[in-house]
Structure 1
Amino acid sequence: MTIFRGLKVLDVGTWIAAPVAATMLADYGADVIKVERPGRGDDYRRFASFAISPNAEANYTWLLDAHNKRSLSLNLKSEEGRRILLELAAQADVYITNQPPALRRELNLTYDDLKALNPRLIYASLTGYGESGPERDREAFDLVAYWARSGLMDLVRAPGADPAQCLPGMGDHPTAMALYAGIVTALLDRERTGEGRMVHTSLMANGVWAASCIAQARFCGAATAGYQDVHRHFWNRPLYRAADGRWLQFTMVRTDAEFKRVLRGLEVGDWSDDARFATSESRITHGEALIERLRARIEAEPSDHWMARFAETGAPVALVGQIDGLADDPQVAASGLLSPPSDAAEGAQFIRPPINVEGLDPAPIEKAPELGEHSAEVLAELGYGEADIARFAAQGVI
């Protein structure tokens, strides 16, 4: 089913977080027009070909995040380009943007500007650091605002280790989900009130939210400096490397009974007779000694040996997954997080957003648009004739 059929959405954004919110609406039937600058388009079109990206024949990131949309190339620095965008906004249900706030003010494309044209419009704004405050006009990627600025980069590391960069898009995709949630909430409100709304979120806000189980402590007066050092004494916090280089995770081992199953799996059941390791409390007190012994034992055998042993004893130990293994992972295949293969998806399966509504299946993935592929079509729907469209092309408006 296509729950958003008939919903008109303008995607006036670039890269990932804001445009992906539009893609999720398209997945459930919305008519999404992606507005891009003529000649170059969204720079994210080329991300899969960057030196830092794995090589593949398919433009996989663009297809992943920009499918099921139409593309209108439009020069918003031209008077006629802005006029065309305003015509579209006057008819739209949702307007999504992550343009820098200063640029929106310069182009008269703020919520207040568009609300005057269309009071029922849902205006969805994505910024790096929020709609107000001294950094409201500062531009950012998720690696900066979500990961570094929020404190996540500093927190997510082993004691003594340097901070590490996050994966590309690691903050953008959950931020897109937050923006989508705001849009859907505002659409429900519009059904009840008839009024549009501005909804907004930021990369920094989503990063702080992701860190909130620790960050909230600081707002309640707790000291959070040295958070990683506390975990030096918790034996089930570190990861342990097996002989084949794979890592084992013991986070779900929480009770004395589960710890004994781990020891039986490691064939060192006599360790439970050691008073230092007999209780949860003593294992914390003597955590560093226990960690040292576990590391030496686990390094003696490959991961498949240990995982088989832990399966036998019922110890809740996890093998740290690898991206290379996802395509062959039976749980990934069975859990519905992949799209069916299709010609439009160049024969590949693609990762779906983690939204599942029983009885509302997302639309099949259709190819991501070429730059300006639908410009003439969209302009014709606005009432422009072939001569106008040719003139716009000649003047660089489209």
Structure 2
Amino acid sequence: MEIQTNFLDGIKVVELATFVAAPCCGRALAEWGADVIKVESLNGDPVRFVGPNFKMPSNENENPIHDLENSSKKSVALNLKTPEAKEVFEKLLSEADVFLTNLRTEALIGLGVDYETLSKKFPQLIFAQILGYGEKGPDKDKPGFDYTAYYARGGVMGTLCEKDTSPLNGAPGFGDHQAGMYLLSGICAALFKRVRTGKGDKVTVSLLHTAIFGMGIMVAASQYGNHWPITRLEPSSPLLNAYKTKDGRWIQIAIPEYDKYIGKFAKAIGNEILAEDINYNNIKGMVKNREEIVSIIEEKFIKKNLTEWIEILTVADIPFEKVQLFHEIPEDKQAWANDYLYNINYENGNKALVHLPVKFNSLGTPDVVPAPKIGEHTDITLINLGYTTEEIEKLRVSKIVR
């Protein structure tokens, strides 16, 4: 089969975005063949410098967080506070199919690149924006990060934790990556619509909506009295719960159909009373005796190590998984077998980064081009826009471009 690498060949994207949510969307567009020009300030996207927050390097030779969000793009560095740089930016937009941004609407209006302005100038342009809280309402202009708009306001942090403990520790970029992929789907749909109509569109995704959508089942359930956070000692079902092993690891069990599988589960763990006692072997009895059943299962799991339970539950064909830790994922054979990870060769050795989660049969595994240095493609981009080398040098000396 012929491998295609140009799904979006000919599509030009101008990205004016920082940090994670919108840039990861731009990365996907670039890996699928689009020409993505990342417009940065002369100092660069702040994500280039936040690695030390997470014990990662952030220098020109090794910057994994920047590589993860900005691979396969081109970088043009402009001082958009100057009219000359704004002129360059507008020329880029005049040739673009997609404008991708996470700037707040107030800032876009100040730069003259808000949707209302651009849709009049470039009716074919697809305007794609990541927002914190949405386009309307009292908080539409509030700054939003995934720690705040997604984790905190979206109900994730306060509910997905053990009851009566501190809120969940938010992992950086978790909500951002989801929002970025949602925006990607909207952009692709808008491109398809444009083929039919010739007209662009406005596509928005907010971090708050991303969280609420992800928690949609529980948002509905909460209105029927299913209130979280809960304690794992009294879960929705003892067969939808995590249990600690002898060596201090955890195993997650996932058996939604309690009545159908309690007998099989009881046999696997070696406690037939769960299958025989009317207080335990049906869902009505389970609801009344959750804590007691959890205690019975806990007493079994704590007597064997993780590897022992993996073998037992695998043989019994019980839906389960070990609770894996971040540092174990780069050693996960299943992840490597499916090309979920790739190695990037830094000076101090290979590090595993994560491929995009969408795979195409005809695309294969695309080569990931390292993220660009600040303004690495400024000169060639300006030359393609018609600027002479003398004009570019003048702009550089005036600190309008880098």
TM normalised by structure 1 equals 0.92
Matches within 5 A, 1:84-95: 84-95=88-99
Provide closer, same or farther for how the CA distance between residues 58 and 343 of structure 1 changes in structure 2, counting only shifts above 3 A.
closer
Matches within 5 A, 1:343-382: 347-361=350-364, 363-382=366-385
Cα distance between partner residues in 2 of 1:212 and 1:120: 34
Provide closer, same or farther for how the CA distance between residues 165 and 120 of structure 1 changes in structure 2, counting only shifts above 3 A.
same
Q: Give, in angstroms, the shift of residue 222 of structure 1.
A: 3.7
Kindly indicate whether the alpha-carbon contact (under 8 Å) linking 2:56 and 2:63 is maintained by their aligned counterparts in 1: no
1:169 corresponds in structure 2 to 173
Cα distance between partner residues in 2 of 1:33 and 1:309: 52
2:335 corresponds in structure 1 to 332
Q: Is residue 230 of structure 2 the alignment partner of residue 228 of structure 1? A: yes
Q: Give, in angstroms, the shift of residue 223 of structure 1.
A: 4.3
Residues 43-102 of structure 1 deviation map (CA, whole Å, 9 limit, x = unaligned) = 11123232x335698321111110111100001111111111011111111100111211
1:390 corresponds in structure 2 to 393
1:115 corresponds in structure 2 to 119
Percent of aligned positions that are identical = 27
SS in 1 for 2:50: helix
SS in 2 for 1:75: coil
Q: Give, in angstroms, the shift of residue 193 of structure 1.
A: 0.6
Cα distance between partner residues in 2 of 1:257 and 1:129: 43
1:240 corresponds in structure 2 to 243
Q: Give, in angstroms, the shift of residue 155 of structure 1.
A: 2.0
Q: Which deviates the most, 334-343 or 62-71?
A: 334-343
Cα distance between partner residues in 2 of 1:224 and 1:293: 24
Cα distance between partner residues in 2 of 1:288 and 1:282: 12
Counterpart among 18, 22, 40 of residue 14 in structure 1: 18
SS in 1 for 2:230: helix
1:160 corresponds in structure 2 to 164
Letter in 2 for 1:394: V
Cα distance between partner residues in 2 of 1:127 and 1:301: 48
1:316 corresponds in structure 2 to 319
Counterpart among 3, 24, 30 of residue 28 in structure 2: 24
Cα distance between partner residues in 1 of 2:324 and 2:355: 19
Counterpart among 59, 70, 91 of residue 74 in structure 2: 70
Residues 322-354 of structure 1 deviation map (CA, whole Å, 9 limit, x = unaligned) = 22222222211222323476789x855531111
Residues 233-274 of structure 1 deviation map (CA, whole Å, 9 limit, x = unaligned) = 621233111111110112226344532333233222244333
Provide closer, same or farther for how the CA distance between residues 30 and 232 of structure 1 changes in structure 2, counting only shifts above 3 A.
closer
Cα distance between partner residues in 2 of 1:93 and 1:278: 60
Cα distance between partner residues in 2 of 1:277 and 1:378: 69
SS in 2 for 1:370: coil
Kindly indicate whether the alpha-carbon contact (under 8 Å) linking 1:261 and 1:314 is maintained by their aligned counterparts in 2: no
Q: Is residue 183 of structure 2 the alignment partner of residue 179 of structure 1? A: yes
Cα distance between partner residues in 1 of 2:241 and 2:366: 42
Residues 346-366 of structure 1 deviation map (CA, whole Å, 9 limit, x = unaligned) = 855531111122212353111
Provide closer, same or farther for how the CA distance between residues 222 and 289 of structure 1 changes in structure 2, counting only shifts above 3 A.
closer
Q: How many residues align?
A: 394
CA RMSD of aligned residues (A): 2.4
Q: Give, in angstroms, the shift of residue 27 of structure 1.
A: 0.4
Q: Give, in angstroms, the shift of residue 139 of structure 1.
A: 0.8
TM normalised by structure 2 equals 0.91
Counterpart among 167, 185, 194 of residue 190 in structure 1: 194
Residues 133-175 of structure 1 deviation map (CA, whole Å, 9 limit, x = unaligned) = 1111111111110111111222212233322132100000010
Q: Give, in angstroms, the shift of residue 116 of structure 1.
A: 2.5
Letter in 1 for 2:210: N
Cα distance between partner residues in 2 of 1:296 and 1:217: 31
Q: Give, in angstroms, the shift of residue 283 of structure 1.
A: 2.1
SS in 2 for 1:355: coil
1:48 corresponds in structure 2 to 51
Runs of 5+ consecutive residues of structure 1 not aligned to the other structure: none
Counterpart among 131, 137, 146 of residue 127 in structure 1: 131
Runs of 5+ consecutive residues of structure 2 not aligned to the other structure: none
SS in 2 for 1:77: coil
